[in-house]
Amino acid sequence: KTFAKFNTTDSASAVRETLRREPALTQFETAQIANLCPVDAEEAKSVIPSLVKIEDDRLQALLDEIQLMRKFQS
């Protein structure tokens, strides 16, 4: 399945694998991040409050990587 913001299964799979590298994320949080595509850690934590358990720098690195994938998806 693809996420709302990713139009190919390859790009959705790449996002899923990127988010799986963060062991603190639950399956629900992974799906929410991939569907909502928040730009920064503050926004992510405001729409998904359970993300407060992850340091801003680590979360921001994940979000930046996802934004890059979204920008360059084919």
DSSP symbols for 4-55: TT--SHHHHHHHHHHHHT-TT--HHHHHHHHHH--SSHHHHHHHSGGGGGS-
Share of the chain above pLDDT 70, in %: 93
Spell out the domains of the chain, with CATH numbers in brackets.
Answer: 9-71 (1.20.1250.40)
Q: Which of 1-5, 16-20, 32-36 has the lowest mean pLDDT?
A: 1-5
Express each pLDDT in 21-33 by its tens digit: 999 999 999 999 9
Confidence of residue 9 (pLDDT cuts 50, 70, 90): confident
CA distances from 25 to 22, 34, 55, 61, 74 (A): 6, 12, 12, 14, 27
Fill in the DSSP letter of residue 2.
-
CA 46/CA 34 separation, integer angstroms? 15
Confidence of residue 1 (pLDDT cuts 50, 70, 90): low
Q: Is the pLDDT of residue 41 over 90?
A: yes
Q: What pTM was estimated for this model as a whole?
A: 0.85
